[in-house]
Amino acid sequence: MFTVYGYPYKGKVYSISPNMIEIARNVPSLEKIIVVLYVNENMAWSELPKAILFEEALKEAKGNFKFEQISFDNPV
């Protein structure tokens, strides 16, 4: 799963970590949670043992990646 830890709105940062924790607990087949740093916020890493930063995931990955821009409404 790809996610961000939080997002800014009207000058305030909102954390979505409770949502990430709930999803991780309820989806046992989830192998990794890839976190993209979008806001500078302290993350509760101990509550998400499957979480890894996007930059770290790229370092661990084998092979070459091709990133492709797609439309916002693409169902991926």
Domain ranges within the chain, ordered by starting residue: 2-60
Q: From CA 18, how far away is CA 9, in angstroms rounded?
A: 18
Could you report the per-residue pLDDT of 47-58, keeping only the tens digit for each?
788 888 888 888
Could you report the per-residue pLDDT of 26-45, keeping only the tens digit for each?
998 999 999 888 877 676 67
**According to the model, what pLDDT value does residue 41 have?**
67
Task: Give the number of other CB atoms < 10 A from CB of residue 11.
Answer: 5
